[in-house]
Amino acid sequence: MEVTDVRSYVVDADWRNWFFVVVETDEGISGVGEALSGEGLTAALEATMDAHKHYVIGEDPLNRKKINRRMMRYPFAWRGGKLISAIGSAIDIALWDIAGKYYDEPVWKLLGGKVHDEIPVYANGWHIGERTPENYAHHAEKAVKDQEYPALKCDPFAHYEYSLSNAQIEEVAELLEAVRDAVGWDVGIGLDCHGRFSVRGAIQVAEALSEYDIMFLEEPVELEDREAMAEVNRRVSMPVATGERIYNNATMNDVINEGACDIIQPDLTNYGSLAELQHAAEMAKSRYMTFAPHNPNAGVSTAAGLHLCAGIENLEVLEHMSRDVAWGNEVVRHDFEVRDGVIEVPDEPGLGVEFDEEAAKQYPGEPKDSHSLFDEEGALKRP
């Protein structure tokens, strides 16, 4: 079997774009992958994919290690950069999809088997609209009661950074109190700080909000200083999570060995390969840390996450977007459904999804008004 073509698709997803890759073979078997595509970089991903697909075409799709090595190591000047790691991830996921279809087995079985039949998930993207206690409570209740999520993640910090005033702390506390009143105390709440605080500010926030039984504090400070993150981790009572912007095991190893977190969160679609993600999970397990993949992505990434997480012993939880564009299931057809806080691991050959190339063409992604996750004042955008 030989790879004959690699095609990429940029699909509109409201406030962002999705980026998919289809790998075609001479035996009529194709696979689909996905790359992290936030903040207006899909044009750069397209160009990077076009410039590097010659490493894939003509190769045996079942020889993933050779293909991945060529993509990740042969480009010398840009070796292992984030764009290359992202397209490497997309190609790798597509090759696993091909292998599963070729052997008529689900990807989780080819990855080595599973220890979980169901994967626990938490909701991201559940809050939209006004940043008020009433609106937070309304959407939290909807995500928990109507969509059956057992945990929620949010960034309630508006444009605040470095440290918060007492009034700002009180404002954030009112939002979390409204959520707790709406969903009770059995539901997890994760706080995403997006790396915006100083060490002192992160500790201040954690101490002030600990009464709300926070599931994890995500990226309280930037990752460039592992010692700063480790200092926060040592001094707060809630678990610290980080890793979504890490895209190789050399950096993840530093974070783990420094004790900079309790939970690692590598993204499924920018880490280079599922094998590297397995390695990251094993490194974390050796230091008694857990694994909670970053996944604010589309259905292909979620499928890859379910298959990967099925075999991860130290799995914490998988991120899952509670809202999608109306055409999401037209482009990526699947049967995944959150029930009682979990998604069942698929048993269909390959990833268990069907990518509709014609549907993808009907919803082409376009450049967004801003290339940032944040608005002009620094607050997280909310549709």
Beta strand pairing status for 318-321 and 118-124? parallel
Helix (H) and strand (E) counts in the chain: 13, 14
DSSP code for 2: -
Contact assessment for residue 192 and residue 155, using Cβ atoms and an 8 Å cutoff: yes
238 contacts: CB under 8 Å, gap ≥ 6: 206, 210, 214, 215, 216, 217
Sequence spans of domains, the chain: 3-106, 109-351
Specify the CATH superfamily of domain 3-106: Enolase-like, N-terminal domain (3.30.390.10)
pLDDT given for residue 358 in this prediction: 97
Residue 54 is classified by DSSP as G
The answer to whether the CB of 240 falls within 8 A of the CB of 221 is no
Provide the CA 169 distance to its chain's centre, in angstroms: 28
Distance CA 17, CA 24 (A): 23
Predicted local confidence at residue 128, as pLDDT: 84
Q: Report the alpha-carbon distance of residue 316 to residue 244 in Å, rounded.
A: 15
Positions of the chain with pLDDT lower than 50, given as ranges: 371, 383
Token readout for 164 is 């918060």
Rg (CA), the chain: 20
Q: What is the C-alpha to C-alpha distance for residues 44 and 35, in angstroms, rounded to an integer?
A: 12
End-to-end CA distance of the chain: 45
Q: Measured between alpha carbons, how far is 34 from 88 in angstroms, rounded to an integer?
A: 10
- Name the DSSP letter for residue 210: G
Distance of CA 271 to the CA centre of its chain: 10
Separation of alpha carbons 171 and 222, rounded Å: 24
Query: Which residues belong to the active site?
Result: 194, 294
Same fold: 3-106 with 109-351: no
pLDDT at 73: 81
Question: Quick check: helix, strand or coil at residue 29?
Answer: coil
The predicted pLDDT at position 74 comes to 78
Please give the class, per CATH, of domain 109-351: alpha beta
Q: Which two tokens stand for residue 293?
A: 């993949």
Count of positions (residues) in the chain: 383
- Residue 13 makes CB contacts below 8 A (sequence gap 6+) with 298, 324, 325, 328, 365
**Residue whose C-alpha is closest to residue 15's, from 373, 296, 332:** 373
Q: In the beta sheet, which residues pair with residue 241?
A: 218, 263
DSSP 304-331: HHHHHHTT-TTB--EEEES---TTHHHH
What gap in Å lies between CA 376 and CA 382, rounded to an integer?
A: 13
